[in-house]
Structure 1
Amino acid sequence: MSAAATAPASDPTAQRPTRIAIATDAWRPQVNGVVTTLTRVGEALEADGCRVLWLTPEGQRTVALPTYPDIRLALRPYPAVAAALAAFTPEAVHIATEGPVGRAARRWCLRRGLPFTTAYHTRFPQYVRLRAPIPERWTYGWLRRFHAPAVRTLVPTASMRDELSARGFRHLAVWSRGVDTTLFRPRPPGFLDLPRPVALYVGRVAVEKNLEAFLRLSLPGSKLVVGDGPDLASLRARYPQVHFAGFRHGEDLASHVAAADVSVFPSRTDTFGLTMLEAMACGVPVAAFPVTGPRDVVQEGITGALDEDLAAAVHRALHCDRDACIAYARRHTWAACAAQLRDYLAPITALGAHGEMNRKGAKDTK
């Protein structure tokens, strides 16, 4: 199969799977784009009549991820994962992450010659390199090996597909994202009593988010950071002029977003960036670097601005039409995102019975 192949085999008689197992190491109480995506997609799948088995670190012995204690990794999850899968008899298995739970589900499928799909949500090579002197090519090599046996590896944008294809990944398909427009909607701007314009960052406060590229900017008005993470205390001390609101969720989070004048997305390592869609749904344009993620989400001059000079992007984004942002975001629903995932899944009943799967790496069951 070509690396550019992005669609499942079209068969109008094929039955879409309804018993779906999803393995993920990223799970509540973590708050990030992966958890949000999987939670919303799972809700939409169940609303469409599917049964979803969640394979997560929940209920298992865990250990803190080095340098990131808020993330817990399951210890020896294979017995529990294998038992759950055997009892559930899934019609499709989707592996969302490459951690211990994801590896356990992969091992279970490979041992039985069953097809599965994977997803590439996180740029681990860049994240690891920011924290340890490990060459990115080593991590990319491990990730290629992990994803090689998958029928499809789902990526959030065309830019991410092209980037991974150039690094030797195969069987890539673009699986977009959604936004909850009931929660993230236009609201009165008076929620924030800050000098205008308000430039907002929402997300994890950690080194991989490149947050200081935003905090160092000379901008009129106010800078507001909404989120928590390992770097919050140090950045709060170093940038006393910035308003740090900490972690917010639900209506409180949406009210903060809707009250901003521009949403600044300084990350150079995200594969998508859900907070950009959430801002647009509130009528708030986005300023970002012209990198993978923003390039596929932001429409230059319409829903925001992209520039290597982030301050210039902020100034241009402030002149974008808020109604255009809202209209763009409303085209990205979680129901559509879930339906796309379901179309990309590899039905076990169709493929597993005959062992018709990508055999590359099939002997790798560790």
Structure 2
Amino acid sequence: MTRITIVSDAWYPQINGVVRSIENTNRELTRMGVDVAMVTPQDFSSVPCPTYPEIRLSVATYWQVASAIKASGPTAVHIATEGPLGLMARRWCLKNDMPFSTSYHTRFPEYVAARFPIPLRWLNAFVRWFHNAGNGCMVATGSLERELSKLGIKNLLRWSRGIDQTVFHPMDLDDRPFDLPRPIFMTVGRVAVEKNLPAFLDLDLPGSKVVVGDGPDRAELQRKHPNVLFTGTKTGEELARAYAQADVFVFPSKTDTFGNTILEALASGVPVAAYPVMGPIDIIEEGSGAGALNEDLREACLAALACRREDASRLARRYTWEAASQQFLVNVLKAQSERPRRRPGTRPLPAA
């Protein structure tokens, strides 16, 4: 039996694209008969991340992480994040001659540089060092693959994303959703600096603006924009109903590598307005009628108002978690079959 151990610094109670991608992939892998084990911050003590307390950083020794991985008895290891757990899992795999794959979910150098005064070239070098140690680095889109290739990251593998259309789908609209005048321009996600929310909140738009989500910048943005509705975090059916009430979904981020919320909005029948950057340009196809991309975000928002909801939901139907999870499994097995070169001083994986 294939037994995959996934190591991720991002896990519940966090709600973000990394967590949702792994959660949905695990569900599909289990249906395929794959045994999946997780090593996450829930297994160890943790402390709040500086500048972003909602994210917990694991406080674990190498031997604790090594013991957790070994106990799971993996035939393959996938490292999802470049955080403390990811670093120790990388060390364990190299020490034990264990093949592993990685994935690149967030533009890590830009994410860190937005919070700490670390030169971008150092962060790029770290990303290259981290991912090139494995037998494959999974990326969601062609534009991300091209960017990472220029950085010198090798063995890039495609792992797309999906959408659960039993949850996210068009619904009957309220005449006055959230008790606000239409049109409703909505964004969903972490309320944090990397999401570039002021670019949306500062726009002069008709109707109303709604922000669904929470994060370290919420209090300050709510104070600056008293006419914007901040709903806090929503999940499941409540989130699906929120999407369906929007007239346009606004995606102001310039640092996301994909944008799972774009798919959720499209599946809900909501056209998307965004910048023509990585993520949106990979999903919103030209001529699809599912949204509008423009360097002027206001123009994109107004153009998206004219898009048809049917075209948005039609585009989303191309993305399924079953297909994305099949990609993931093929990538993991490919990485597992290519044994890494032994380094001096390392030893083979102990017998299970």
Q: TM-score, normalised by structure 1?
A: 0.90
Verify the 8 A CA contact 2:100 2:336 in the aligned structure 1.
no
Match for 1:139 among 113, 123, 128?
123
Question: Partners of 1:227 and 1:181 in 2: how far apart?
Answer: 21
Amino acid of the residue matched to residue 267 of structure 1? S
Q: Which residue of 2 aligns with 1:357?
A: 340
Give distance in 1, aligned partners of 2:271 and 2:76.
Answer: 38
| Structure 2 length-normalised TM | 0.93
Please tell me whether the aligned partners of residues 158 and 327 of structure 2 are also in contact (alpha carbons under 8 angstroms). Answer: no
> Is the Cα contact below 8 Å between 1:115 and 1:347 reproduced in 2?
no
Please state whether the residue corresponding to 2:4 is helix, strand or coil: strand
Aligned with 2:89: secondary structure? helix
Runs of 5+ unmatched residues, structure 2: 347-352
Residue-by-residue CA offset, 1:38-59 (whole Å, 9 max, x unaligned): 0111111111111111011113
Mean Cα deviation higher: 322-331 or 211-220 = 322-331
Matched AA of 1:193: D
2:230 matched to 1:244?
yes
Map Cα deviations across residues 291-318 of structure 1 (whole Å, 9 max, x no partner): 1111101123421111000011111111
Equivalent residue number for residue 138 of structure 2:
154
Q: Which moved more, 1:87-96 or 1:248-257?
A: 87-96
- CA shift, 1:331, in A, is 1.6
| Aligned residue number for residue 295 of structure 1 | 281
Instruction: Return the alpha-carbon distance in structure 1 between the equivalents of residues 345 and 242 of structure 2.
Output: 48
Q: 1:98 to 1:198 in 2, by over 3 A?
A: same
| Equivalences for residues 205-284 of structure 1 within 5 A | 205-284=191-270
2: CA distance between counterparts of 1:146 and 1:34?
A: 18
Indicate how the Cα distance of structure 1 residues 159 and 349 shifts in structure 2: closer, same or farther if over 3 A, else same. Answer: closer
> Counterpart in 1 of 2:68?
84
- For residue 163 of structure 2, what is the aligned residue in structure 1? 179
Of 269, 291, 314, the residue aligned with 2:301 is: 314
Match of 1:47 in 2: 31
Q: Are residues 360 and 181 of structure 1, via their aligned partners in 2, closer, same or farther at CA, if it must alter by over 3 Å? A: farther
1:214 match: secondary structure: helix
Distance 1:74 1:64 in 2: 9
Deviates more, 1:258-267 or 1:327-336: 327-336
| Structure-2 separation of matches of 1:333 and 1:168 | 30
Q: Hey, what does 2:42 align to over in structure 1?
A: 58
Alpha-carbon deviations, 1:162-216, whole Å to 9, x = none? 0111111111112111111111111111044321111001011011100000001
Name the counterpart of 2:291.
304
- Give the letter aligned to residue 333 of structure 1: T
Letter of the structure 2 residue corresponding to residue 186 of structure 1? P
Indicate the RMSD between aligned Cα atoms, in angstroms: 1.8
Structure 2 CA distance for aligned equivalents of residues 244 and 200 of structure 1:
10
8 Å Cα contact 1:30/1:70 also seen in 2: yes
Answer whether contact 2:10 2:40 (CA < 8 A) is retained.
Answer: yes
Letter in 2 for 1:184: F
1:343 deviates by 0.4
Q: How many residues align?
A: 343
> Are the counterparts in 2 of residues 77 and 101 from structure 1 also a CA contact under 8 Å?
no
| C-alpha deviation, 1:336, in angstroms | 1.2
* Inter-CA distance 59–91: structure 2 relative to 1 (3 Å threshold): closer
Q: Comparing 309-318 with 21-30, which one deviates more in the overlay?
A: 309-318
Paired residue type of 2:226: P
Which position in structure 2 is the counterpart of 1:10? none
Runs of 5+ unmatched residues, structure 1:
1-16
SS of structure 2 residue aligned to 1:58: helix
> 1:245 is paired with a residue of what secondary structure?
strand
In 2, Cα distance between equivalents of 1:80 and 1:71: 20
Give the fraction of aligned pairs with identical amino acids, expressed as a percent: 51
Inter-CA distance 362–337: structure 2 relative to 1 (3 Å threshold): farther
Q: Distance in 2 between matches of 1:159 and 1:187?
A: 33
Asked if structure 1 preserves the Cα contact closer than 8 Å seen for 2:195 and 2:255, the reply is: yes
**Counterparts of 2:291 and 2:345 in 1: how far apart (Å)?**
45
Task: Please name the residue that 2:15 is paired with.
Answer: 31
CA gap of 1:361–1:183, structure 2 versus 1, over 3 A, is farther
Deviation at 1:107, TM superposition (A): 1.2
